Amino acid sequence: MSARAGRRVVIVGAGAAGDAAAGAMRKSGFDGEVVMVGADRHPAYHRPYLSKQFLRDELPVERVMLRQPDDYGKLDVDWLGGRRAVAASRRDSSITLDDGRELRFDVLVLATGGTPRWLDPIPRLANVVALRTLDDGVALKEALADAGRLLVIGAGFIGAEVAASVRTMRKEALVVEVAPVPLGRALGEDMGQVYARLHRDRGVDLRTGTSVTGWVADGERVAAVQLSDGTREEVDLVLVAVGIEPDLSLARELGLTLGSGGVLVDETLRAGPDVYCAGDIAAHLHPVFGRHLRVEHWQVARKQGQAIGEAIAGEPRPYEELPWFWSDQYDVNLQYLGHAAGFDQAVPRGDPDGGKFSVFYLKDDRVEAVLAFNDGRTIRFSRELIRARVPVSAEALAEESTDLRELAGRSGPSGG
């Protein structure tokens, strides 16, 4: 028995991060008790498939699942599926479940993810849906079978992916986005335009700088919408894709420090000596960037969960992975590495019209992030460059013959 035997870890949230924490804890030899509470009735599954292959009927539900219900038993993890933690006390080191049960913990892992945001004027009618859970995914897929025209509100990643899937299924997609370009704040104006073109070229009716000003109901369903561009559009189904609200109610009850839209955690992902947070709710003090980053992406949640599992089984260490995510839309594989909050230059490398290119986002001459369209190689070779935090010249980055790994080893604003 290890020195840690007898400790009880409670994980709240059995999604990407919570599941990874449980798995890593056991893999790393933790032999205390592990209880995982998950409001979802299903064991963990790959959320990213829900807007892509699963929606297009290219992947059966079994392949969407990360775990089968009996996997947790095999891992010696007590999975309480379909149960919600409704209260928490730091003083008593306990959480309370929706069936009244109280669970004491020695270590708590909070990985509660988020809930789709719903803007106030959007009516709660039968054909107005959001997409977060497997049940949402099944419902959307069923509803799409009978729908010819989908309205998507919001051209962020999930809205755009669903629109792309719907076009692939040869149905009509109308996307309404209030911003002048989609993802402009994250990717910059130019890339927002490239992204808009990607969808328009494939037949998405993307209306930017536009909002829904009126809803026309037919009984329990939306039949049409009035748009701010003066048009009225008939629709069969509406997907609300305007982001998520991180689920912070337990964090608030525990008195954890909030910031950057989530729970502030230190370099080791701890919000306090006995509380870890991971995934969409964690605003992590990243050692490479020296600031709190909160990232709503799959791989970040998995890796943070894994790091927490290993830390609980061993010793907490700074979590240093660079944020990375991908999105598949039509034949385009989009990848993003790093984190650019308030970049001052966006430097393209390659030809945006050629279908394969990248963009470097710089702040004070340092590369903060890289976005790649069908260009995984540049992402791979940029890791050291982002980590190095050395000043580099935009010219050197833009030049396709420049060896990015070599650039990481150099310093000085000339990049050479």
Binding residues for ligand FAD (CB under 6 A): 12-18, 37-40, 47-48, 50-51, 84-85, 111-113, 131-132, 158, 247, 250, 279-280, 296-299, 301, 325-327
Nearer to ligand FAD, 380 or 405 (CB): 380
Distance CA 317, CA 7 (A): 19
What is the smallest separation between the CB atom of 396 and ligand FAD, expressed in angstroms?
Answer: 29
Nearer to ligand FAD, 89 or 299 (CB): 299
The burial class, CB within 10 Å (0-12 / 13-18 / 19+), for 174 is buried
Nearer to ligand FAD, 132 or 270 (CB): 132
- 189 backbone dihedrals φ, ψ, rounded to 5°: -60, -50
| Residue type at position 23 | G
Nearer to ligand FAD, 17 or 311 (CB): 17
Residues 6+ apart with CB under 8 A from 101: none
What is the smallest separation between the CB atom of 147 and ligand FAD, expressed in angstroms?
Answer: 18
What is the smallest separation between the CB atom of 294 and ligand FAD, expressed in angstroms?
Answer: 10
Distance CA 275, CA 111 (A): 11
What is the smallest separation between the CB atom of 117 and ligand FAD, expressed in angstroms?
Answer: 12
What is the smallest separation between the CB atom of 185 and ligand FAD, expressed in angstroms?
Answer: 18
Nearer to ligand FAD, 267 or 328 (CB): 328
Q: Quote the distance between the C-alpha of residue 179 and its chain's center.
A: 20
| Residue type at position 401 | S
Nearer to ligand FAD, 332 or 394 (CB): 332
* The length of the chain, given as a count of residues: 416
Coil vs helix vs strand at 299:
helix
What is the smallest separation between the CB atom of 41 and ligand FAD, expressed in angstroms?
Answer: 9
Give the nearest residue (CB) to ligand FAD. 15
Nearer to ligand FAD, 15 or 350 (CB): 15
Q: Which of 334, 395, 335 is nearest to 362 (CA)?
A: 395
What is the smallest separation between the CB atom of 112 and ligand FAD, expressed in angstroms?
Answer: 4
What is the smallest separation between the CB atom of 188 and ligand FAD, expressed in angstroms?
Answer: 20
Q: Quote the distance between the C-alpha of residue 384 and its chain's center.
A: 23
- 22 backbone dihedrals φ, ψ, rounded to 5°: -60, -45
Q: Which of 169, 176, 172 is nearest to 141 (CA)?
A: 169
Nearer to ligand FAD, 115 or 257 (CB): 115
**Torsion sign, CA atoms 40, 265, 246, 254:** positive
Q: Which of 302, 230, 289, 295 is nearest to 262 (CA)?
A: 295
Q: Quote the distance between the C-alpha of residue 140 and its chain's center.
A: 19
What are the structure tokens assigned to 114, written together? 């988020």
What is the smallest separation between the CB atom of 69 and ligand FAD, expressed in angstroms?
Answer: 14
Nearer to ligand FAD, 42 or 207 (CB): 42
Q: Is-contact 124 218, C-beta < 8 A? A: no
Nearer to ligand FAD, 11 or 390 (CB): 11
| Residue type at position 302 | R
Nearer to ligand FAD, 85 or 347 (CB): 85
Name residue 26's beta-bridge partners: none
What is the smallest separation between the CB atom of 55 and ligand FAD, expressed in angstroms?
Answer: 8
What is the residue-wise DSSP string for 61-107?
HHHHBS--HHHHHHTT-EEEET--EEEEETTTTEEEETTS-EEE-SE
What is the smallest separation between the CB atom of 234 and ligand FAD, expressed in angstroms?
Answer: 26
**Torsion sign, CA atoms 392, 393, 398, 403:** negative
